[in-house]
């Protein structure tokens, strides 16, 4: 796929972090747009000063601490008091941070240091510095905590670290400018977002081989996987959309329009919603997972006065939509069920126009304008009287 006409320089990347200034949250409120579901505005309850250029944050499994990757350090926040309790020096440019499932270590991908720092969360001391590829950016840890997967943005590769030895045990070639990385809940596959290649690489973690390359939108950036492992959601920065990948087939099953320049992505623990952070228009889009808006199609044939009539509109959507007449009037003698069945025996001839609306509470209602002709009941034909021969 040719991308030379669409340059994506490294110079642009720090500007996203610069917009955050020296705080974890700099806005008073978050504005929400709705891709397929309504959402209300949440209010920021605290603004915590950290070091310059905070880029990523990870929460410990016990929710007691947050680790924030800054320009050349990691800030540790006590979530009970929302106070910074420690600042840990790491190699330059920590872009990604992840914490092991047991909460004992934090791994930071140091973009300019071309290394990964391993932090002991009990002492907040760096216990290892692991050389990796060029410009490491994203980091994810397998659910069993045995391996860390690091995307090397300028190295077109993923480094695999054995967390027991903190040594690189594999380097996996992927697409151009890999950024985001996420691992399925069963630990079997890692999904790597390749920004320059407009693709997602799927790595089998047992063999550390790429088993699929999935085309997505332009400049994919972030990735998150549903709790059941069934779907991977990918933000496409330049397309202003989110691609939905079915992990069973590794095929894109849907593309959801969101705000401008979506970057980060997160999925709720119950798997009902995905949140896309849209850098370009300063909004967050909320996507209802496993739900699709209503759609209705159909053109009923003409009916005949006094004769039975039945027609079923085609409905799609999840959950199943219901229908109603929202403008105009049905022909006398006809009714419309919630399932979209128009039936009855029309009693009056004429041309009728009405609107059928399908709704399921997801996104906008689907509206269909209908024109239905009811023709007059045909008159009984007059017969001819035959000749009668009378007996003479």
Q: List residues bridging with 127 in a β-sheet.
A: none
Distances (CA, A) of 139 to 135, 178, 185, 208, 230: 12, 11, 15, 16, 21
Please give the mean pLDDT across all residues of the chain: 88
Tokens in use for 390?
A: 């009378």
Could you identify the residue written with the tokens 């997505």? 216
Give the helix, strand, coil percentages of the chain, each rounded to 5. Answer: 0, 50, 45
Work out the average pLDDT over 176-186: 97
Distance, CA of 392 to CA of 389 (rounded, Å): 9
Query: How many C-alpha atoms does 144 have within 13 Å on its Cβ side?
Result: 10
Beta bridge partners, 64, equal none
Q: What is the CATH number of domain 13-290?
A: 2.130.10.10
State which fold the 293-375 domain adopts.
Answer: Immunoglobulin-like (2.60.40)
Mean pLDDT computed over 49-76: 93
- Alpha helices by DSSP H, listed for the chain, are 13-18
- Higher-confidence residue: 12 or 360? 360
Share of the chain above pLDDT 90, in %: 75
Element of type H or E holding 271: none
User: pTM of the full predicted structure?
Assistant: 0.75
In DSSP terms, which residues pair with 57 in a beta bridge?
Answer: 68
- Sign of the CA dihedral 10, 203, 94, 29? positive
Query: Which residue has tokens 């079915």?
Result: 246
User: What pLDDT shows up at residue 290?
Assistant: 81
* CA distance readout (Å), 199 to 170, 353, 365: 21, 47, 33
**Res. 39: pLDDT tops 70:** no
- Using the 8-state DSSP alphabet, how is residue 176 labeled? S
Look up tokens 């190699």; give the residue: 91
Strands 303-304, 366-375: pairing kind = parallel
* pLDDT over 70 (residue 40): no
Cβ contact 332:354 at 8 Å: no
* Residue 171: closest CA among 144, 145, 134, 197: 134
Domain ranges of the chain: 13-290, 293-375
- Taking only the tens place, the pLDDT of each residue in 333-357 is 999 999 999 999 999 999 999 999 9
């Amino acid at each position: 796929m040719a991308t030379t006409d669409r340059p994506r320089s490294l110079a642009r990347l720090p500007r996203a972090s610069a917009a955050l200034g020296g705080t974890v949250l700099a806005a008073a409120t978050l504005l929400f747009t709705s891709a397929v579901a309504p959402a209300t505005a949440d209010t920021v309850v605290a603004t915590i000063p950290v070091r310059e250029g905070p880029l990523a944050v990870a929460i410990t499994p016990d929710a007691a601490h947050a680790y924030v990757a800054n320009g050349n350090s990691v800030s540790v926040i006590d979530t009970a008091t929302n106070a910074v309790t420690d600042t840990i020096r790491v190699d330059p440019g920590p872009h990604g941070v992840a914490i092991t499932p047991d909460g004992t270590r934090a791994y930071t991908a140091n973009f300019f240091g071309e290394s990964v720092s391993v932090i002991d969360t009990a002492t907040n001391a760096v216990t290892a510095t692991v050389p990796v590829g060029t410009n490491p950016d994203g980091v994810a840890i397998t659910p069993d905590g045995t391996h860390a997967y690091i995307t090397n943005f300028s190295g077109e590769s993923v480094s695999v670290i054995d967390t027991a030895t903190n040594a690189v045990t594999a380097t996996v070639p992927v697409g151009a400018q890999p950024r985001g990385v996420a691992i399925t809940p069963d630990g079997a596959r890692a999904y790597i977002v390749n920004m320059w290649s407009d693709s997602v690489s799927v790595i089998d973690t047992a063999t550390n081989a790429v088993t699929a390359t999935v085309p997505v939108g332009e400049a994919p950036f972030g990735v998150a996987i549903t709790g059941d492992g069934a779907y991977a959601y990918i933000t496409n920065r330049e397309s202003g959309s989110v691609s939905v990948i079915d992990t069973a087939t590794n095929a894109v099953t849907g593309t959801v329009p969101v705000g401008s320049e979506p970057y980060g992505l997160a999925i709720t623990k119950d798997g009902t919603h995905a949140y896309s952070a849209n850098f370009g228009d300063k909004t967050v889009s909320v996507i209802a997972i496993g739900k699709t808006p209503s759609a209705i199609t159909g053109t009923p044939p003409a009916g005949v006065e006094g004769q039975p009539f039945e027609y079923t509109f085609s409905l799609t959507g999840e959950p199943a939509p219901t229908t109603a007449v929202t403008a105009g009037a049905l022909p006398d003698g006809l009714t419309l069920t919630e399932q979209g069945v128009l039936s009855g025996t029309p009693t009056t001839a004429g041309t009728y126009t009405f609107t059928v609306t399908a709704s399921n509470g997801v996104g906008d209602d689907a509206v269909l304008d209908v024109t239905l002709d009811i023709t007059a009941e045909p008159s009984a034909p007059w017969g001819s009287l035959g000749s009668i021969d009378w007996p003479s």
